[in-house]
Structure 1
Amino acid sequence: MNLYTVERAQNDLLMRVRSRLNSRIAAKVLKSIEAAKGPLPGHLKAQADAYAADVLGSKSYAPWLYVYSAIAGEFREGWIPDNYYMSVVLPAIEGRYGGLSDMRSMTARVFGHGKEIPDRGYVVKGRLYDASLEPVSSFEEFTNHIFSGVEKVAFKADASDRGRGVKILDRDRFMQTAVGLPDGVIQPFIDQHEAFAQVASRSVGTLRMTTVIEPDGQITTRDAYMRFGRDTDDHVFSESNIRVLLDTATGVFSPIGYSVDWLEIDRHPDSGFVFAGNQVPNYAACLEAVERLHRRIPMVPSIGWDLTVDQDGSVQVLEWNSGHNDIKFSEATSGPCFTGLGWEHLGRSRAEVPVTG
């Protein structure tokens, strides 16, 4: 057995474990929705079971289809369950390229240090680099560089997600903790646009967008939604965030948002900001930026982007995710978002179907 075969077997095992855990998360989400809306009708569950088994290749993919159906009030063919996306779609379409975004310093090499990339510096193997990956000789010089014109910075560790591995630091805290920082990126703490600050002022509101490579090779944006923090958070955490669906073409807010428990709300629970009638500022520039940047790395067919708009309307790309970008919220609230890409057929073509979770 060669190293590639061993690596593939290990990855398959890891994906199976994640799929089982993912199914348990789906069951918890469904329980929350059913507590508010009532039990999922049996005929919708039966449709989800049949679609998971007959089209996707395993009934183990049904739990997220239950969640989607409970949110939508109907079953829709073409939905991509979250555990199917993670365990089947991403490995099939991205392969080893899926791990590129876990290494934050790769941003400088892939996308350059353009106007939308706010990276100030990187920590790599204990060494300090500026945004162009030029080494910085002294810690004092590095500190002065990353804090130039700003009072706080955000440090994001490699391979971190869901808001974990993120530290918001002022100069004193940075100097106290920098020696023990793992590999990662340092960005200025963005002074966000007033349109976002009205919703949640303490943390930076982030726009989630997913771009894909179409069968004809064009790059398009398939989903978009906003994530806002709570008053107790200095940055957005997946465990507490408020999500608001957007019109993908225009950036207009849906009148309905969702709590972390997937329950419908019409305003932010802390600020009281009403979602209806609002829009992402300079949204057209956000669309243009992510689609243009995706063209620089065409070997990655699906990318999830975290970006924001600063106080003067400039687009700031905070993060890109090639290997674990989340699609389940958009699929549940406005999907299917990824029809025409052939993703639903990938499970049937796999030589080994994941075990039932």
Structure 2
Amino acid sequence: MKLKKIYNRIKFISRTPADISKIVRGQSYYPEKERKSSPTIFLDNLLWIIKNKEVNYFYNSNGLDIKNWRSPDEFLPDMKFRRERESGNSCKNEKFNYNYIAMLRDKYVFASYLSYVIGEDKVVPTIALYNNEEVYLLSEHTYISLEDFFQEDTKVFCKIINGEGSEEVFILEKKEGNYFLNSKKTTLSELKLKMKDSKYIFQDVIQQHESLNKINDSSVNTIRITTVRGASGKINILNSFLRLGSTKDSFVDNVKTGGLAVGIDDSGLLRKYGFYDVPFGTKVEQHPISNTVFEGYQLPYWDEVKDLVEKAHKQFYYVQSIGWDVAITPNGPILIEGNDNWGSIPSQIVEGGLKEKWYELKNA
């Protein structure tokens, strides 16, 4: 184990000059502003590595390459942040010795629990659990076959119970006797093979508010809003941003698959820029499909969104911080998921450094 640690350290050090050089040559997210010199950018990144023992791959997307603007000290180092987040969230009840984050990571347990404690109208309705080639219908408390579930034409949103991001998320539909997976024709046998040895939940397909359709109607566009429980028990909002699908052929809004992240201010207004993840581009001021300008665009039901996530967090009383995925329907906001392993990277890209605010809210 010690030799492996030494080997990984040597590997990291040997790779460092090439990583920094790639950042120096990398595209600026803010070409309209004056950029630091190459030697300054190199030194910034070298000092970051020495101090935080990691490469700051998001140096350019965080705007740290811009002269006289943001300071690296304003930002949470990713590895240190992850350790602190996991420590705060992995709080075991000493008497019973179990970890409450399991209630967030199992999507079936999460939806069932919150539907009961805060109301069925506050969570995306779960229709069924697919387990060992059987479908458990929640409304009837009984198991049926997949064939019987699709006896009539129906359309459901399907996701693996322990997936992350857009992993194993798809739309299943039976229409006019044919089966479709993400609009592509398939068979019942192929569906069974795809879902073999895993557990999935079937949920209603969300109908989003017209204000979100106006920006992009090819995907359900969700809000990521993070809440933090302070030392006093008070729950506050750290950060929020809107995730948008950016292509007509994608029904998911995940930034890791090419979507956009647009910051949201305290009153529910979108900020100026939508940001791509590093491999897909930099930033834009309007949506690439609808041409909707982001800055000042008002999201509906914003006070209700904030109230919903604060109430939901209170039901996870041993978890310090949660990144919530929220959809806005014509009737108001509903919860999709709660994530204990939410990331600070997109939050800091859309808003700037959150280091001071993170510690302030943890200690509040």
Among 122, 129, 132, the residue aligned to 2:129 = 122
Moved more, 232-241 or 197-206: 232-241
Kindly indicate which of the two structures has a greater share of residues assigned to helix: 1
Match of 1:251 in 2: 268
Cα shift readout 1:292-322 (whole Å, capped 9, x = no counterpart): 1111012121111111111x23212122211
81 and 186 in structure 1: CA distance in 2 versus 1, 3 angstrom threshold = farther
Instruction: Letter of the 1:274 partner, please give it.
Output: V
179 and 84 in structure 1: CA distance in 2 versus 1, 3 angstrom threshold = same
Instruction: Letter of the 2:106 partner, please give it.
Output: M
Match of 2:215 in 1: 199
Which structure's CA Rg is the greater one?
Answer: 2
Among 71, 82, 89, the residue aligned to 2:84 = 89
265 and 143 in structure 1: CA distance in 2 versus 1, 3 angstrom threshold = same
Q: Distance in 1 between matches of 2:230 and 2:205?
A: 34
Among 176, 180, 205, the residue aligned to 1:173 = 180
Q: Distance in 1 between matches of 2:44 and 2:332?
A: 45
Q: Is residue 231 of structure 2 the alignment partner of residue 212 of structure 1?
A: no
136 and 216 in structure 1: CA distance in 2 versus 1, 3 angstrom threshold = same
Contact 1:286 1:315 in 2 (8 A): yes
28 and 265 in structure 1: CA distance in 2 versus 1, 3 angstrom threshold = farther
CA-CA distance at 1:66 after TM superposition = 5.8
Query: What TM-score results when the alignment is normalised by the length of structure 1?
Result: 0.75
Q: Distance in 2 between matches of 1:218 and 1:66?
A: 34
CA-CA distance at 1:85 after TM superposition = 2.8
Moved more, 297-306 or 66-75: 66-75
Q: Distance in 2 between matches of 1:40 and 1:222?
A: 30
Cα shift readout 1:186-213 (whole Å, capped 9, x = no counterpart): 2111111111111111211111111111
Q: Is residue 161 of structure 2 the alignment partner of residue 158 of structure 1?
A: yes
CA-CA distance at 1:125 after TM superposition = 4.3
Q: Is residue 283 of structure 2 the alignment partner of residue 264 of structure 1?
A: yes
User: Secondary structure at 1:211's aligned position in 2?
Assistant: strand
Alignment of 1:317-356 (within 5 A): 317-323=335-341, 325-337=342-354, 339=356, 341-342=358-359
Q: Is residue 27 of structure 2 the alignment partner of residue 33 of structure 1?
A: yes
CA-CA distance at 1:283 after TM superposition = 1.0
71 and 320 in structure 1: CA distance in 2 versus 1, 3 angstrom threshold = farther
35 and 332 in structure 1: CA distance in 2 versus 1, 3 angstrom threshold = closer
Q: Is residue 92 of structure 2 the alignment partner of residue 74 of structure 1?
A: no
User: Secondary structure at 1:315's aligned position in 2?
Assistant: strand
Contact 2:132 2:199 in 1 (8 A): yes
RMSD over aligned Cα atoms: 3.8
Cα shift readout 1:330-355 (whole Å, capped 9, x = no counterpart): 21332333535549x9xxxxxxxxxx
CA-CA distance at 1:76 after TM superposition = 4.9
Q: Distance in 2 between matches of 1:117 and 1:319?
A: 9
Cα shift readout 1:152-178 (whole Å, capped 9, x = no counterpart): 321111332231211112123377255
301 and 228 in structure 1: CA distance in 2 versus 1, 3 angstrom threshold = same
User: Secondary structure at 2:317's aligned position in 1?
Assistant: coil
Instruction: Letter of the 1:252 partner, please give it.
Output: L
Among 333, 336, 347, the residue aligned to 1:315 = 333
Q: Is residue 309 of structure 2 the alignment partner of residue 290 of structure 1?
A: yes
CA-CA distance at 1:135 after TM superposition = 3.8
User: Secondary structure at 1:120's aligned position in 2?
Assistant: strand
User: Secondary structure at 2:237's aligned position in 1?
Assistant: strand
Q: Is residue 233 of structure 2 the alignment partner of residue 233 of structure 1?
A: no
User: Secondary structure at 1:136's aligned position in 2?
Assistant: strand
Kindly indicate which of the two structures has a greater share of residues assigned to strand: 2
Cα shift readout 1:237-258 (whole Å, capped 9, x = no counterpart): 32210221110x2110112222
User: Where does the alignment leave 5 or more consecutive residues of structure 1 unmatched?
Assistant: 1-5, 346-357
263 and 292 in structure 1: CA distance in 2 versus 1, 3 angstrom threshold = same
Among 295, 301, 307, the residue aligned to 1:276 = 295
Q: Distance in 2 between matches of 1:235 and 1:51?
A: 34
Contact 1:281 1:313 in 2 (8 A): no
Contact 2:219 2:253 in 1 (8 A): yes
User: Secondary structure at 2:122's aligned position in 1?
Assistant: coil
Contact 1:202 1:231 in 2 (8 A): yes
Q: Distance in 1 between matches of 2:60 and 2:296?
A: 31
Query: What TM-score results when the alignment is normalised by the length of structure 2?
Result: 0.74
User: Where does the alignment leave 5 or more consecutive residues of structure 2 unmatched?
Assistant: 91-98, 182-186
Instruction: Letter of the 1:122 partner, please give it.
Output: L
Cα shift readout 1:47-87 (whole Å, capped 9, x = no counterpart): 56546655xxx33154445642437742153421334333x
